[in-house]
Structure 1
Amino acid sequence: MENKKFDLNSLIGFILIGGILIWMLYRNAPTEEELQEKATTEQVEKANETNEVATPTTVDSTQVATTETDSIKQARANAQLGSFGYSNQYDNGTVTTFENDVLFLKVANKGGQIVEAKMKNFKTYDSIPVHLIKDNNASFNINFKTSDNRTLNTENLAFEPTLSKSGDNQVLSMKLKVSNSEYLEYRYELKPGEYMLDFSINSKGLENVLNTSEAAVLNWKLKGYRHAKSISYENRYTEAIYEYEDGKDDYLGQQDFTDDEEEDVTYVAFKQHFFTSILLTDTPFKTGKFTSKNLVEDEDIDTVYTKEFTAQFPLETKGGEIDYNMNWYYGPSDYKILNDYDRNLDEVIPLGWGIFGWINRYVFIPFFAFITSFGVVSYGVAIIIMTIVVRIVLSPVTYKSYLSQAKMKVLKPEINELNEKYKDNPMKKQQETMKLYSKAGASPMSGCLPALMQLPVFYALFQFFPSAFQLRQKSFLWADDLSSYDTIAELPFSIPFYGDHVSLFPILASVAIFFYMTMTTGQTMQQNSQPGMPNMKFIMYLSPLLMLFFFNNYASGLSLYYFISNLITIGIMLVIKNVIIDEDKIHAKIEANKKKPKKQNRFSKKMQEMMEQAEAQKNAKK
């Protein structure tokens, strides 16, 4: 049995060793491309030897070496690239520059792609020109297969550049050639004063060169450069947005994310808070896949890039040729500029969904533009004017809310009596309390509803200020940039969730909201806390503290708005309390309402009947 076992193991060992040897021979065997290259090189060398023998005295040795080198390079290119080896004659290290008064661009022969995109009229927080593309942070590549079964990438191939003019427009043609009349072309057209370029991808005479059974795939990648003082704040508003299925739009969010394939994609935008790179197409991409990767793990270390984006699209052919009309946009994330293109690009600006976005689009953006259009006030003053107007418009709502609080204050002694009288019968206490509210014409909910009505306005403004491009690098008082945080002191250390600096506007806003909450919740805090109810005193102290931490790294323009808004609200409430509202008159009106026969609506009547039935059932069980 041992010999049999030994023989079986030996046989298995021999088979394994034999398999390994065969695999090694296979791996070390020359590939078809290497054999082709060797044969081509031998042919070139043989031809050179023949030339040297035939004309040894008439050919300069330098010319022979150059011809030999060029011939070998071309032969190698033909072996590797097939028909596209023709493109090897063009210089792969050359770039072509073209520009207008707002945009500076460089396009490389290698890949025919934009390798530098610079905003002429904008600087970063440290006074460096704003670059959306520079130093290989982006790539634009088409992966395709040829009819002779090669897989090639345009980013590795040399294009022939031709720069010309069409009227006032600059036109740059980049051709990846198979021959003089057969090529894949990228065509860029730049108009004066425009951030938007016309761009097209089309092929000519490649129907027998491209393998059309498998779609070519367009890949666009970009790592977003840091442009703002706070990389964490900028990164919060850096994201990928795309449009699909005839006007729908979506975004990838803030964390690492890969989106499933979407159909009929018409544009994708890689937004870097205040600047955006967008690729648009007239012919929708059949499908699109998108990824987003957060590159900021530690703000003290990761200071160059914010996020890395990728977009992938299949390119369909028509009659064996590629033909897509597109656009590139490299420019500011300015609502007016993007909206004027009338291509749904306003969705790139995060104005809020539903009613919040509607308020920003049709109320706050036009109103703020109107205030600043005269050019006589600073942007900080414009924020104050806008805040004052908003608070005055909302003052009737504030009045309703405070009036409800005053009524509840007048009724408080009677409510306390009911609480004491029916302390052992919660259901009866609730019935009598509701009767009191009904007779007096008061309701605890009437104070909540006005507050809820203000939420859409507050949230819309919360979205408006961080997205307002007009505030970028505009100073006011001690804040040198209303789109970033203000600084009155630098800390020698960093506090978690707070940062390494002290901002004054959030402190002022926190103090103002503390006094505002003291006025609105002071009456409530005088009452004993009920089981299950929130501790209003705790909330009064917690809310300003949260604002202090939360807004320390936010735009100072937003903190300025909240500070002024709370100051005005406090002033309005003091006027309402001391001038408009008379508690004696309110008490007299409540007493008069009690004497009037009160007709209940159907809902109140039904609720009372249900409570009375429940009370009767409870008494019957005793």
Structure 2
Amino acid sequence: MNSNRSLLIMGLLLVSFLIFTQWQQDYNPEIQAQKQAQAQAPQQVAQSSDVPASSNASSPLTEQSTKGKTITIESDVLRLTVDTLGGDVVDSDLLKFNAELNSQNPFELLQDNEKIQYIAQSGLVGKNGIDTNSGRAQYQVTADNFRLADDQNELTVPLVLEKDGVTYTKTFTLKRGSYDIAVNYTIKNNSAETVEVQPYGQIKHTLIESSGNFAMPTYTGGAYSSSEANYKKYSFDEMAKANLSIDTKAGWAAILQHYFVSAWIPNQDAENNLYTRTANGVGTIGYRGPITQVAPNSEATIKSNLWTGPKDQDAMAAAANNFDLTVDYGWAWFIAKPLFMLLTFIQSLVTNWGIAIIGVTIVVKTILYPLTKAQYTSMAKMRMLQPRIQEMRERFGDDRQRMSQEMMKLYKEEKVNPMGGCLPILLQMPIFIALYWTFMEAVELRHAPFFGWIQDLSAQDPYYILPLLMGGSMFLLQKMSPTPVADPVQQKVMNFMPVLFTVFFLWFPSGLVLYWLTSNLITIAQQWLIYRNLEKKGLHTRVKK
């Protein structure tokens, strides 16, 4: 297979991949159902509330719109705003992440404003629940602002409510450098009756469409993990069509967006119910824990965790089983994960993600070099055999069977594999797709600078210089092809391929374009070296005339 045909195959694979990705965003029936559900949402009658029904309730509770005062809880990486009515987290600022490139403002994940509602709620329902139809728990706090001191590794903030001889304490615990927040309930029963409560935690998010463009689509929606599904997305349209209800041990429920995630992680030793619902343009995903009974003059603690932060794979893997799968590499995960590990290792040495990408490209091309060498050697032999093949065509005319037999015999004698160029191409495309999803999912690459005008490798080149250089390198690689295309139609198609690739790559993350450009330059060098060595060995003299 000549390099022109290789480029054509690569182009077809790339175009097919992009078309499929865009179709998933625009024409997938599920996505269309989501858009329809969002359009109808404002007209729906309220079917959900701030407080879910307990296990023995027959219908959801009514919406509670009243708010209490807010307090601030701040660690070195997180600043939470908590409403004392219910103890809900209504805002989370990620202090180590900028809202935009070069912005001085921190990235706001959880938020509750006129544009979007994205909050984390939790509470106690059931027979003696303090979050009921008539209202949410109104907690008391000792201060309005709490901050992790420089000499502290942990900050604990209790919210207290006393009711009918029972003291309910909702405690937030933030640890230094962590986005995993412990949210525990302590029920101290000083009454004469047994207290029965049931915990819940849920994430509420305004129903919005996924953002991005055809080259960089992003997912915003629900996801969960259960004993039967390690990781499964549950989009807003799926929530609108059918309420999720899964009983499982352990598990978690989350809302995902580009690079970030918020999730409730209930007690992993308990049986929990995962659920969803939608109403009034808002989708909710959460968990309901088992009923807890607290005998008179005794105490019980109910544990849960809230994650609100970046998709940090190592930290999420430590937080809960399968939680790191929210970094979704798609079907190419088995390639993307080791590539990302290699990328982070090289970055730790060179301290520049762009140089790390170049390093990964060199490693990949080095590993594939034996196949590349076999590819170009086969292509060179095919070029040398063209006069003999043309002679066969003239000799056998329309006898295709005889022609095929003689060609196979010739290939065998000269040890030529006419399909020798396929394997490197077939291997390179999955690697490209794996890197594509790595750039889409790895928060480490968000706002990662290279040099000069490239200040964000996860975004497109603002001046389109890298795509143009990539197109030029592809054109040069095409011109170095050892087997020129004779057919005028094929020639026009091949001449158009660098232009087509350049246009597509205008919207790709600049880091991905950098990988492709580096790969092309290395291929050009390898091709030149391989052919030079073949000429020195006098390959053409060994091919029978």
1:481 and 1:396 mapped to 2: Cα distance? Answer: 34
Going from structure 1 to structure 2, the CA distance change for 1:480 and 1:225 (only over 3 Å counts) comes to farther
Q: What is the Cα deviation at residue 549 of structure 1?
A: 3.3
Q: What is the Cα deviation at residue 186 of structure 1?
A: 3.3
Q: What is the Cα deviation at residue 131 of structure 1?
A: 0.9
Q: What is the Cα deviation at residue 550 of structure 1?
A: 2.9
Amino acid at match of 1:525: V
TM-score by length of 2: 0.71
For residue 274 of structure 2, give the secondary structure of its aligned residue in structure 1: strand
Q: What is the Cα deviation at residue 168 of structure 1?
A: 4.8
Which range moves more in the overlay, 101-110 or 325-334? 325-334
Alignment counterpart, residue 242 of structure 1, candidates 219, 224, 232: 224
Q: Tell me what 2:539 maps to.
A: 586
Q: Tell me what 2:507 maps to.
A: 553
Alignment counterpart, residue 365 of structure 1, candidates 319, 336, 340: 340
Which range moves more in the overlay, 478-487 or 196-205? 196-205
1:350 aligns with 2:336: no
Q: What is the Cα deviation at residue 388 of structure 1?
A: 2.8
Going from structure 1 to structure 2, the CA distance change for 1:148 and 1:284 (only over 3 Å counts) comes to closer
Alignment counterpart, residue 166 of structure 2, candidates 181, 189, 208: 181
Percent identity, aligned pairs only?
26
2:138 and 2:523 mapped to 1: Cα distance? Answer: 65
1:428 and 1:208 mapped to 2: Cα distance? Answer: 96
Matches within 5 A, 1:364-403: 364-374=339-349, 378-403=352-377
Q: What is the Cα deviation at residue 219 of structure 1?
A: 3.6
- Per-residue displacement from partner, 1:50-83 (whole Å, max 9, x unpaired)? xxxxxxxxxxxxxxxxxxxxxxxxxxxxxxxxxx
Q: Tell me what 1:29 maps to.
A: none
Going from structure 1 to structure 2, the CA distance change for 1:223 and 1:233 (only over 3 Å counts) comes to farther
Contact 2:225 2:251 in 1 (8 A): yes
RMSD of Structure 2 on Structure 1 (CA): 4.1
1:525 aligns with 2:465: no
Q: Tell me what 1:570 maps to.
A: 524
Alignment counterpart, residue 133 of structure 1, candidates 110, 117, 122: 110
Q: Tell me what 1:600 maps to.
A: none
Q: Tell me what 2:178 maps to.
A: 194
Alignment counterpart, residue 233 of structure 2, candidates 251, 257, 268: 251
Q: What is the Cα deviation at residue 187 of structure 1?
A: 2.6
Going from structure 1 to structure 2, the CA distance change for 1:94 and 1:144 (only over 3 Å counts) comes to closer
Contact 1:143 1:154 in 2 (8 A): no
Q: What is the Cα deviation at residue 141 of structure 1?
A: 4.5
Contact 1:289 1:312 in 2 (8 A): yes
Q: What is the Cα deviation at residue 383 of structure 1?
A: 2.5
TM-score by length of 1: 0.63
2:276 and 2:215 mapped to 1: Cα distance? Answer: 23
Larger radius of gyration: 1
For residue 464 of structure 1, give the secondary structure of its aligned residue in structure 2: helix
Going from structure 1 to structure 2, the CA distance change for 1:113 and 1:542 (only over 3 Å counts) comes to farther
1:361 and 1:504 mapped to 2: Cα distance? Answer: 29
Q: Tell me what 2:47 maps to.
A: none
1:328 aligns with 2:302: no
Contact 1:112 1:155 in 2 (8 A): no
1:393 and 1:178 mapped to 2: Cα distance? Answer: 68
2:306 and 2:480 mapped to 1: Cα distance? Answer: 54
- Per-residue displacement from partner, 1:259-313 (whole Å, max 9, x unpaired)? 75445261233232222222212245544245799x9xxxxxxxxxxxx753143
Amino acid at match of 1:471: L
Q: What is the Cα deviation at residue 588 of structure 1?
A: 4.7
Q: Tell me what 1:506 maps to.
A: 467
What is the number of equivalent residue pairs in this alignment? 458
Considering fraction of residues, name the structure with more helix: 1
Q: Tell me what 2:5 maps to.
A: none
Q: Tell me what 1:105 maps to.
A: 80
Contact 1:506 1:551 in 2 (8 A): yes
Q: Tell me what 1:73 maps to.
A: none
**Gapped runs of 5+ residues in structure 1?**
1-87, 296-307, 489-502, 530-534, 593-622
Higher relative contact order (CA 8 A, sep 6+): 2
Contact 2:80 2:89 in 1 (8 A): yes
Amino acid at match of 1:360: A
For residue 116 of structure 1, give the secondary structure of its aligned residue in structure 2: strand
1:224 and 1:117 mapped to 2: Cα distance? Answer: 19
1:132 and 1:233 mapped to 2: Cα distance? Answer: 24
For residue 231 of structure 2, give the secondary structure of its aligned residue in structure 1: strand
